[in-house]
Amino acid sequence: MLRISNAPTVVSQVFAGAAVGWYALPTGTALPLGALVLVLVGVVLSYLAGMILNDVCDAQVDATERPDRPIPSGRIPLFMARFVGGCMLLIGISMLAVASPATLPWAIVLGVCILAYDMLHTLSAASFVLMASCRGLVPAIAAFAMSSNTDWSILAWTASAAFAFIAAVSIAARNEMTGFGVIARVAAWSLPAAACAPLGMWGALAIDPGGALLSSMAVGATLLAAYLVFVGIHTASKRDYPQAVPRAVSMWIGAMPAMDAATCFLLGSPTLGVLCLGMLGLSRALRPRFAGS
């Protein structure tokens, strides 16, 4: 129910957002660890709550189409899932709101987007905008938790890349159990461009990573993200494999920490970049046991 194998990908987004905010602080300023911990825990709780409430809202549909899901199968009572999911979301958004005065409005918007997506995603194909907005808001909240004077141009690149990437994944996965149609293929083939967004930011904003090593690490992380995306596209194209698209979706989402690592390296935060790559490894380790889609 928690799709926990994807949880490390929201953690890496927090690290990328933290790198954006830290970049705006005076050189030598320590990373605000207290605010970072609040955002990390708050984002993870909000993500997990969104997964639970997604199943709560889908309970009637799942009873017909996927009766083996935890709620319709009776393994988890509906009222319990609703209570736990609601409490987790309230706690998570509250932690994000108090991380910094600058994060309050963004935390509220994130909470609204999570609830709106869970309630509307079965009613409208356009709901992917809400899902993508949730992902785009995560680095923004982390950045403003680090500094209220975050560079808007860098944040726009980072948040927009996350939004575009998840929007494309959501479109490609819209009918994941029925095949890989033309619209899904077009969306999937836009993913490599989104995966290379950190390099676009580097060129457009003339960012100085602070040395050849960090530049090389940023390029390497971007190429890794693009490689994982292409592997996912190849997997989704397998006509004789009924789980091809769901497996590809997990691969695509799992590529996000590499994008986040590239952003951290470009902004001169190698420790955060390495932590992002660690989240990539953790996500891949969890995926065989816990479905991400």
pLDDT of amino acid 287: 85
More confident residue, 114 or 292: 114
| Residue 221 identity (one-letter amino acid) | A
Backbone φ and ψ of 199, nearest 5°? -70, -35
pLDDT for 142-171, tens place per residue? 999 999 999 999 999 999 999 999 999 988
Q: Kindly report the number of other CB atoms within 10 A of residue 60's CB atom.
A: 12
What pLDDT band is residue 282 in, cutting at 50, 70 and 90?
very high
Torsion angle of C-alpha atoms 199, 205, 210, 216, degrees rounded to 10: 10
pLDDT band at 175 (very low <50, low <70, confident <90, very high): low
Q: Identify the three-state secondary structure at position 73.
A: coil
d(CA 18, CA 211): 20
What pLDDT shows up at residue 122?
82
Residues 88 and 83: their CA atoms lie apart, in Å, by 9
User: Minimal CA–CA distance to 17: which of 219, 272, 284, 218?
Assistant: 272
Q: pLDDT tens-digit profile of 196-206?
A: 999 999 999 99
Query: What are 62-100's pLDDT values in tens digits?
Result: 888 888 889 999 899 999 999 999 999 999 999 999 999
**Res. 269: pLDDT tops 90:** yes
The pTM of this model reads 0.94
Query: Is the pLDDT reported for residue 174 higher than 80?
Result: no
To 5 degrees, how large is the angle CA 256–CA 117–CA 164? Answer: 35
pLDDT of 182: 81
Cα–Cα distance measured from residue 260 to residue 62, given in angstroms and rounded to the nearest whole number? 34
CA 202, distance to chain mean position in Å, is: 21
pLDDT of 9 higher than 60 = yes
- Residue 30 is classified by DSSP as P
Sign of the torsion formed by the C-alpha atoms of 286, 250, 22 and 111: negative
Tokens 């960090």 sit on residue: 214
pLDDT band, very low/low/confident/very high, at 241 (cuts 50, 70, 90): low
* pLDDT of the residue at 3: 85
